[in-house]
Amino acid sequence: MFRFPLRALPALALCLTAAFAPAHAAEPVFHNPLVQQRADPQVSLQPDGWYYYTATVPEYDRIEIRRARSLDDLGAAPAKTVWRKHATGVMGAHIWAPEMHRIGGKWYIYFTAGSAEHPWEIRLYVLENASADPFAGEWVERGQIKTGWESFSLDATTFEHRGQRYLVWTQTAPDGSKGTNIYLAKMDTPLSIKGPAVLLTKPEYAWEKVKFAVDEGPAVLVSHGRVFITFSASATDENYCLGMVSAPAGADLLDAKSWTKLAEPVFRSSAKNGQWARATIRSRRHPTARPTCWSTTRATTARSRAIRCTTRTATRARRSSAGARTGCRISASPWPTRPGNPPVALPSGTLAM
């Protein structure tokens, strides 16, 4: 998440992870940024051929959705408000990080909210819509997702793996210790979890504890025989970065020993490229014959390393191209953008998976 009083909401950028993509494949060109003045973006491509999009709005007071036939058209697509915060009580403040999922023939939006009287009493909530079209039907409040203990919690996402649905989210520890951690649990319904939660990661390295001890914003990608979960870490300024944990696809995901955590971030600020606070990724597979996935992310290009009111909405997009099944080679070539935002040279290196 990107939360401080003088923030300018970062825009939506796009990065492409293409596994074994042939050298002759044409590179698409996207508006840069795709969608302005939105944080915590989430996009899913559904069987009906539409890209469905939702994100945090600057006012923190409602949930909007939009759709388009292509990623590049999302910025121009009309937004529909499907729910507004309460005037009093729970779900009355800080409406953050919505995610829309199609589960069992219904639509669900998982989101974060505080109460009107106590805005920082942040919890997880769900909306449900039984219509086949999320722009039709009625979005019904289905209440809070109970995680097993009551504390500051946010950024819920869900995925299905080998016939079992899971919830992944951010929460402070049951013992009240400082910092936010990432947890995972099985779901018995789209509205609830069953059994104890497993701790996937907590702030332990220096890059996770700059100014604040933060692991948050989990995102899931299953690929190359592994389950990858990225997360955002540290203060929401130029120190904000992306870490990653992963487990073999056939492992017991509720066994903490199944998960391996990288000792360094997979994305971090780059003074050379003028890229700051690259964090919060949402990955979705692209429906081609090749194993290609798109990852939407928030990124900020700032005039100074202190991302305050000098923040610009212009962002850059990055491309990474998978090499062997055990690694990801970050391409050194620029990503094509629309006029007005020139391409940026990318760093090179190898990321072990």
User: CA 82 to CA 187: how far, in whole Å?
Assistant: 25
Distance linking the first and last C-alpha atoms of the chain = 25
Q: Which of 215, 216, 237, 238 is catalytic?
A: 216
Q: Which of 40, 99, 155, 237 is catalytic?
A: 40
CB contact set of 257 (below 8 Å; sequence gap of 6+): none
Helix-then-strand count for the chain, H and E: 0, 22
Cβ-based neighbour number of residue 81 at 10 Å? 11
Q: Which long-range contacts (CB under 8 A, 24 or more apart) does 299-306 make?
A: 299/10, 299/11, 299/13, 299/275, 300/10, 300/11, 300/275, 300/276, 301/274, 301/275, 301/276, 302/238, 302/274, 302/276, 302/277, 305/237, 305/238, 305/269, 305/271, 305/276, 306/237, 306/238
Cis amide bond preceding 33, omega within 30 = yes
Q: What's the angle, vertex CA 187, arms to CA 181 and CA 190, rounded to 5?
A: 110
If phi > 0 it is left, if psi is from -120 to 50 it is alpha, else beta; for residue 85 that is beta
CB 123 within 8 A of CB 140: no
40 included as an active-site residue: yes
Question: For residue 99, which of 243, 283, 229 has the smallest C-alpha distance?
Answer: 283
Q: Residues 247, 285, 192, 194: what is their CA dihedral angle, to the nearest 10 degrees?
A: -20
**Any idea which residues carry the catalytic annotation?**
40, 216
